[in-house]
Amino acid sequence: MGSRKQVVMIAHDNRKHDLLDWASYNSGTLSKHQLSATGTTGRLLSESLGLTVHRYLSGPMGGDQQIGAAIAEGRIDLVVFFWDPLEQQPHDVDVKALLRIAVVYNTPIACNRSTADFLLSSPLMDERYTPFANAD
């Protein structure tokens, strides 16, 4: 990982407002990194923050799978995924696969605001970092 991180942000419908609020509060820090997001979340973030946000497909249309592939290829350094654990998702299998792939590839993933705050405020966000590879 370089000092400029590849940060991807995802939010289920019931959590989009929370993610937008968090991203707005942290826009100064986020502006130092390359940002991407799933479909609608990416559009909302770009409009809200005034920053360039690369957009994958929406989650149910394959965006979660695209992000999983990007993690496996080493193109994502950090995931902020405000998912809704209380609401069944039509693409629940893809959501679980994305969470699993982040763990398999030792990619930091924040699923709530507190964890996202801790990750974003880490001194490692502005430094080069080599994650330990998980054993096969």
State residue 8 phi and psi, 5-degree precision. Answer: -110, 140
CA terminus-to-terminus distance, the chain: 21
Q: Is 64 one of the catalytic residues? A: yes
Query: What's the token pair of residue 58?
Result: 């929406």
* Catalytically annotated residue among 13, 18, 21, 64: 64
CA neighbours closer than 13 Å in the CB half-sphere of residue 14: 8
Residue 69 CA to chain centroid, in angstroms? 13
Q: Which residues are catalytic?
A: 64
